[in-house]
Structure 1
Amino acid sequence: MKKRRRIKKNEDFQKVFKKGKSFANRQFVVYYLEKEGQEEFRIGLSVNKKIAKAVTRNQIKRYVRQSFFELNDELPQNMDYVIIARKPAATMNFHETKKSLEHVLKIAKVLRRSSIDNKKSHDRIMKK
C-alpha cells in the first residue's frame, strides 16, 4: 500500500475520532470519516504496546494494510479509516485478520459485498 494512503498526523487521527463513526468487534475498532473530494481512502493504524512485542504489532499492521489493499475495490474511496487493534488480534493469522476486518466493515455498512459474495458462490459451484 502506498504511503500517501496512510494517516500519519495526530490532527488527522483526532478528526476521525471526533467527527467520524465507530464500529467494533472483538479484534478491531474501526473509525471512519467521509472526506469530500478525496480520491483514495487513507488508513491509520494503532496497535497498543500492551498487546504484544514490536514484531507482533508490526505483523498486525502488515496484515491490516494487506487486507485493505485486497478490499480496495469494495471500499468507498472518499474515506479516512482508523483501525485500532485489540488484544485478540495478536494471535490471528492473515486470513482471520481479513475476515474480522470484513466483518466489522460490513457492520459499518461501508463494504460493498459484490466480489466477496461472488467468490463464495463461485466456491459453492466448484464444490459441486
Structure 2
Amino acid sequence: MKNKKIIKKNFEFQEIIAKQEFQRNSSFVIYYLKNERDYFRYGISVGKKIGNAVLRNKIKRQIRMMIQDCMKSFPEFSYDIVIIARNRMTQNTYDQNLKELKKLINRFLK
C-alpha cells in the first residue's frame, strides 16, 4: 500500500471522528467520511488499555493486513476511515476479525 493512503495527522483523525458517522461491533469502531479523492485513506488507533506496546503494534499490523485483504474484495471507494480497535479483538482469531471488519465496511458502503 502506498503511504498516501494513510492518515497520520491528529487533526485529520479529529475531523473524521467529529462528523460522528460510524459503524461498530464487538471488535472495531469505524468512523468514516466521504472524500473527494479517487482513493480511500485509513488511520488505525489502538488505545493504551489494550495490552502493552508489543501487543498494540501486533494489532496494528494485523489491521493493515486485513485492510489489504478487504481491498481485494471491494472496489475502490473514496472514503477516509479511522479504525479503532476494541479489547475484544485480542480474544478473536485473525479470520474472525477479518470477517467482522468486512461486515462493517459493507454496512457503510451500502
Instruction: Note whether the superposition's TM-score is higher than 0.5.
Output: yes
Q: Which has the higher contact order (CA 8 A, sep 6+)?
A: 2
Give the structure 2 partner of residue 120 of structure 1.
none
Give the structure 1 partner of residue 95 of structure 2.
95
Give the structure 1 partner of residue 8 of structure 2.
8
CA distance in 2, matches of 1:12, 1:50: 23
**C-alpha deviation, 1:77, in angstroms:** 2.6
Question: Cα deviations across residues 6-40 of structure 1 (Å, max 9, x unaligned)?
Answer: 1000111111111251010011000110001x122
Q: 1:72 to 1:20 in 2, by over 3 A?
A: farther
Give the structure 1 partner of residue 51 of structure 2.
52
Does 2:54 correspond to 1:82? no
CA distance in 1, matches of 2:3, 2:91: 26
- Give 1:1-128 correspondences, 5 Å limit: 1-19=1-19, 21-36=21-36, 38-73=37-72, 74-108=74-108, 110=109
Which residue type is aligned with residue 71 of structure 1? C
CA distance in 2, matches of 1:76, 1:60: 24
Q: 1:107 to 1:78 in 2, by over 3 A?
A: closer
Which residue type is aligned with residue 16 of structure 1? I
Give the structure 2 partner of residue 114 of structure 1.
none
- Percent identity among equivalent residues? 37
3-state SS of 1:8 partner? coil
CA distance in 2, matches of 1:78, 1:107: 15
**C-alpha deviation, 1:76, in angstroms:** 4.2
| TM-score normalized with structure 2 length | 0.88
* Structure 1, gaps ≥5 residues long: 112-128
| TM-score normalized with structure 1 length | 0.77
CA distance in 1, matches of 2:28, 2:80: 16
CA distance in 2, matches of 1:63, 1:100: 13
Larger Rg: 1
CA distance in 2, matches of 1:3, 1:20: 25
**C-alpha deviation, 1:79, in angstroms:** 0.7
* Structure 2, gaps ≥5 residues long: none
